[in-house]
Structure 1
Amino acid sequence: MDYTATRDRVEDYFDRSATKVWERLTSDAPVSGIRATVRAGRDRMRRLMLDQLPQDLSGCRVLDAGCGTGAAAVELANRGADVVAIDISPALVKIGQDRAPRTLKGTIDWRSGDMFDAGLGHFDHGIAMDSMIYYTSPDVARQLAAIGPRVSGKFVFTLPPRTPLLMAMFGAGKLFPRADRSPQMVPQNGRAVEKALRRQDTQGRVTEIERIKSSFYISTALVFEGGAA
């Protein structure tokens, strides 16, 4: 599938099939053992990604690409950022809006739509937590090439690593029951994305930061820098 077809499939999954699953997973409600490992891993990954950005984001415009139910957007706004929190799923964005505190140091502009829409404008930093994991290396590279000139600082994102365990685990569909299983992830690494970027003669570099493994959650944090004009 190309980027648009995959994006539409992701929207269908999160908006029509698994809204309740992800609403519960990203809350404090009790969950099963498997989902508890996913929740713990995502919490660690969010902290790791946010640690790549300045603690004081006052006056900064930050993109939360694929914001989901908004946990990262709230933390960014509490650091003083003016956050554009966008997700392809209107249902998840609505959950984020409803959960967000009424008083924040910064602001959150909640939107639903394509997370890489050029109409969103320019940013000081950006994050994309587990929202680029369904795309091939060429698609990831194309989106980084597009967002790069519009981000003056760091763009922090995640990819699922190509490990035997992850390939077997997702091949067997063990992350979620069949009824609410997610779209197919594409395990890969920063080197593959770097190669795809070079084919497009794109400025900037991709650096792998750290891999988070929490049983059924395995993901790698990366930083893309130097793409801004």
Structure 2
Amino acid sequence: MTYEATRNRVETYFDGTATRTWERLTSDAPVSGIRATVRAGRDRMRDVILNQLPADLTGKRVLDAGCGTGALAFELAERGAEVIGLDISPQLVGIARNRTPHHLHHKLTFRAGDMLEDTHGTFDHIVAMDSLIYYSADDIANVLEGLAPRLRGKMIFTVAPRTPLLMLMWRVGKLFPRSDRSPTMVPHSPARLASAINAGTLRDVDRVHSGFYISNALEFTP
């Protein structure tokens, strides 16, 4: 699939099939045991990402690319950042707007759109938690190189790590008709991703494994 085809498929999935599930998963509502492990894993990964950025972000402009329902964007704003929360799903953006704490409204702007659109301006930092997990190495390299001219500091993003379990799930998932399956995570190794990038540096940060949630944080600097 091309980058555009994958992006459109992900948008359709989150704006339709997964909207209510995602809204519940990212709230305090009770969830099943499996989804509870995913929620716990995402909470841990959010902390990993935040730990790579300054505790005081006052005066900094930060892009949350793939902001979903806004949890990471809220934490960045609490640190003083001016945050642009961007997601390809208008439904998720609507949830994020509705959940924005009153005292943070002046720090947050939520938009539906593509992270590569240059109309969003320049940023001191960019975060992208689990929003690139459906893309190929070449697509991710193109995203990083496309964002680099608008990035003054670092970008912290996550990928699905190349583990035996995820590789098995990926191969099995490809057996189903494309119309019958949700977007499939594409596992990556940091070394192979680094070799696909023509500019900038990539650093392996940390991995979180919580039940059915497995994600690897990486740092990109132009």
TM-score normalized by the length of structure 1: 0.91
Q: Distance in 2 between matches of 1:182 and 1:53?
A: 32
Structure 1 position 221 matched with structure 2 position 217:
yes
1:85-124 superposed matches below 5 A: 85-104=85-104, 107-124=107-124
The alignment's C-alpha RMSD in Å is 1.6
Letter in 1 for 2:122: H
In the other structure, the counterpart of 2:65 is 65
Determine helix, strand or coil for the equivalent of 1:7: helix
Deviations 1:157-207 (A, max 9, x none): 00001111122345556xxxxxx9631110002212211113xxx2x1000
Q: Distance in 1 between matches of 2:154 and 2:105?
A: 21
Determine helix, strand or coil for the equivalent of 1:44: helix
Q: Distance in 1 between matches of 2:20 and 2:181?
A: 13
In the other structure, the counterpart of 2:191 is 191
Q: Distance in 2 between matches of 1:192 and 1:108?
A: 35
In the other structure, the counterpart of 2:177 is none
Structure 1 position 209 matched with structure 2 position 205:
yes
1:67-86 superposed matches below 5 A: 67-86=67-86
CA contact (8 A) 1:212 1:219 kept: yes
Letter in 1 for 2:5: A
Q: Distance in 2 between matches of 1:32 and 1:65?
A: 28
CA contact (8 A) 2:170 2:186 kept: no
Deviations 1:143-166 (A, max 9, x none): 100101211111000000111112
CA contact (8 A) 1:80 1:106 kept: no
Gaps of 5+ in 1: 174-179
Determine helix, strand or coil for the equivalent of 2:162: coil
TM-score normalized by the length of structure 2: 0.94
CA contact (8 A) 1:77 1:106 kept: no
1:19-58 superposed matches below 5 A: 19-58=19-58
Letter in 1 for 2:69: T
Determine helix, strand or coil for the equivalent of 2:127: strand
Give the C-alpha shift of residue 63 in structure 1. Answer: 0.3
Determine helix, strand or coil for the equivalent of 2:187: coil
In the other structure, the counterpart of 1:146 is 146
Q: Distance in 2 between matches of 1:34 and 1:130?
A: 18
Q: Distance in 2 between matches of 1:171 and 1:130?
A: 20
Equivalenced residue count is 217
Q: Distance in 1 between matches of 2:61 and 2:215?
A: 26
In the other structure, the counterpart of 1:177 is none
